[in-house]
Amino acid sequence: MKTIEKIGIIANLEKQNAPEMIGQVLEQVRSRGLCCASESSMVGCCDLGDIQIFPSPAELARNVDLLVVIGGDGTMLRVARQIAGTNVPLLGINAGRLGFLTQITSDQIERAFDQLESGEYELESRCLLSGEAKIGPEEIHEIALNDFVLSRGIKSRMIELEVFVDDQFVARYFCDGLVISTPTGSTAYSLAAGAGIIIPNAEVFSISPICPHSFQNRTVVVNNSSTIVVKVRSEKLQTILSVDGQEHFPMNRGDVIICRRSEKKIFLVRFPGTSFFSTLREKLQWAG
């Protein structure tokens, strides 16, 4: 792994404790003689000193060895989509609630930097979903770390969707929506929709209907080399396409979303003593 000499910081400034955590990270960086940088939205949030400022997260990621992300899982999802393909590792510091992706807490920051300095960490790769939506005459290209979700609009009526995997017809769903999820996203909306939890390194995607009309409709798990096509068949109801819960596009009858594995990946820093299952036990409060 590359020696860490320059660290970038991105924070969700809407989090009340973000400025304090930024100060903690800056203190650790400077006390160890490391270089530090940030992106333009951070200017004026607190005393950053004379650190280098870049115009965007992607530009920042291309010029640092490690990107520290302060916020919740939503912040990590946003940053992951913005910097995907740069291959810079991400270290998430949790200023939110659950924190599946941002596992380090404020009282663990100093210990985390000790481990970074001594090389006591691993990099865990996470796959991304690429989505190409054909909405009327327009084409939209997006990537997601968690999921693509098709859901009904403001009217409380089921939508109608057709699903194909590798050109094979799967089913026509009458439902409130459909979640196409990566393993990372299996602990997010997919889990709430009743699907199973998938370990991060599994090479699969899951397709889960939300409140389907037929109780026989269940989650389908496919190889992540598959191409998943969803066609909107609802006559009068609008369907909303959501990308990681952050980007939203209205779809109508005849519109299509094509999902496949992205060529880009992201990398998360993981420290000894932590595991996916220990995170599940902690965050989901498993007992027994």
Active site residues: 73
3-state secondary structure the chain: CCCCCEEEEEECCCCCCHHHHHHHHHHHHHHCCCEEEEEHHHCCCCCCCCCEEECCHHHHHCCCCEEEEEECHHHHHHHHHHHCCCCCEEEEEECCCCCCCCCECHHHHHHHHHHHHHCCCEEEEEEEEEEEEEECCEEEEEEECCEEEEEECCCCCCEEEEEEECCEEEEEEEECEEEEECCHHHHCHHHHCCCCCCCCCCCEEEEEEECCCCCCCCCEEEECCCCEEEEECCCCCCEEEEECCCEEEEECCCCEEEEEEEEEEEEEEECCCCCHHHHHHHHCCCCC
Instruction: Label residue 99 exposed, middle or buried (CB < 10 Å: 0-12, 13-18, 19+).
Output: buried
User: In whole angstroms, what is the distance from residue 129 CA to residue 150 CA?
Assistant: 14
For 86-101, what is the HEC assignment?
Answer: CCCEEEEEECCCCCCC
